[in-house]
Amino acid sequence: MTEFFADAESSFDEAKFVFYGYPYDGTACFRKGTSEAPDEIRKHSYNFETYLMELGIDLCDVSANDWGNLEITKDQGKNEAKLEELVTKIVSSNKFPIGIGGEHSLTPAAVRAVQSKYPNLAVVILDAHLDFRQEYEGNENSHATVTRRLTDIVGLDKVRPVGIRSVSQSEISEARTIGLKFIESGWTELIEYLTDIIDELDCPIYLSLDMDAIDPAFAPGVGTPEPFGMTPYEVLQTINFFSDRIVAFDCVEVSPPYDNGNTSALAARIIRHLIGAIWQSQERFK
């Protein structure tokens, strides 16, 4: 790690928000390179003013710590065990964890850790892909199986993928058969569908942002780009909608080797907005 995420220089004990990087892309099946994203996103975070005009708050008033990157090996299981241990430490200290991937296989281990503090946890996933396979290329913990693993952890009725536009025929058939609820991209009334989720999930929420949820016109540098996606404003809209109940967050699948810098910058700016929205809306940060 070359530098902290911007404005995340408080000590761990003093911080309300704690960043960690997960520079792993071992199961990536199209474009490698997401392992470079944590440091690249950190670098681009310094591009922005501390004042968030859209929220009317200054991030100088928010205490955050950057724990750094996990030390990654070729052993995915050991990597995920380290990740789960760290996130457990963060949430047990009553802090808000922000994971920066790396690939989407980050999320299930982090969710297990957060669920230890919030037993009734639900997960909202912004993603182009349903990721509902039982296994992919012989790996049950691939980035292509994330939604399936999350349903194993928190239950089918507490996982809500949003922005979906890419699935295999077998995935969509099984998902519809067993009743997985998801929202395809392209809905003009996104708020209507987010309202339905709010009504159904009156509980703490882990929000996972796979940057390929966003249309590649805005975010070209991702591991598996998929056209016809969400706009950055729809992502902010979703964050704002759930901000009073989000208890953990990750941002994954940026692939700097395929980027012109815009995707890393967009990821950094969305993360900064999320911090402001959470800090502003939750009483525990007052």
- pLDDT at position 1 is 63
- Please state the pTM of the whole predicted model: 0.95
Distance, in Å, from the CA atom of 187 to the CA atom of 209, rounded to the nearest integer, reads 18
**Tokens, residue 1:** 């790690």
Distance, in Å, from the CA atom of 272 to the CA atom of 188, rounded to the nearest integer, reads 26
Distance, in Å, from the CA atom of 46 to the CA atom of 175, rounded to the nearest integer, reads 41
- pLDDT at position 269 is 98
Q: Are strands 17-22 and 96-101 parallel, antiparallel or unpaired?
A: parallel
CA 148, 125, 177, 170 torsion: positive or negative? negative
**Tokens, residue 78:** 């050991």
- pLDDT at position 186 is 79
Domains assigned to the chain: 17-285 (3.40.800.10)
**Tokens, residue 192:** 């209507």
For 57-76, give one letter per residue: b (16+ CB within 10 A) or e: bebeebbbbbbebbebeeeb
- pLDDT at position 285 is 76
Residue 253 φ/ψ region, left for φ over 0, alpha for ψ in the -120 to 50 degree band, beta for the rest: left
The stretches in the chain having pLDDT less than 50 are none
- pLDDT at position 90 is 98
**Tokens, residue 13:** 């004990």
